Amino acid sequence: MWTIIMILMISLLIALFEVPYLRRNAMNKEMLVFFILLVVGTGLSIAESLEANIPNPLDWITFVYKPFSDFILGTVE
């Protein structure tokens, strides 16, 4: 519980630090991307702190290229 609160507090501090600069310079698109990435990062951090099973991007790459690798190396059974 405390880890989730700390993650949210750190995310809030990051937003409080970055948003005034983005607003002052009228960077609306950048602010949208910033908030999307901040929410995704915060969500993944909370999921990691709850020990959720988060798939690794390398698993998807292996899944896609494994048949091709097996064909090239001739290890298809």
Output the pLDDT for position 17.
95
pTM check: above 0.85:
no
Asked if 66 contacts 58 with a C-beta cutoff of 8 angstroms, the reply is: no
Cβ atoms of 4 and 46 closer than 8 Å: yes
Predicted local confidence at residue 77, as pLDDT: 56
Average pLDDT over residues 53-74: 86
CA atoms within 13 A on the CB side of 27: 12
Q: What is the 3-state secondary structure (H, E, C) of 3-72?
A: HHHHHHHHHHHHHHHHHHHHHHCCCHHHHHHHHHHHHHHHHHHHHHHCCCCCCCHHHHHHHHHHHHHHHH
Q: What is the pLDDT of residues 7-61, one digit of tens each?
A: 999 999 999 999 999 999 998 999 999 999 999 999 999 999 999 988 888 988 9
Whether the predicted pLDDT of 74 surpasses 80: no
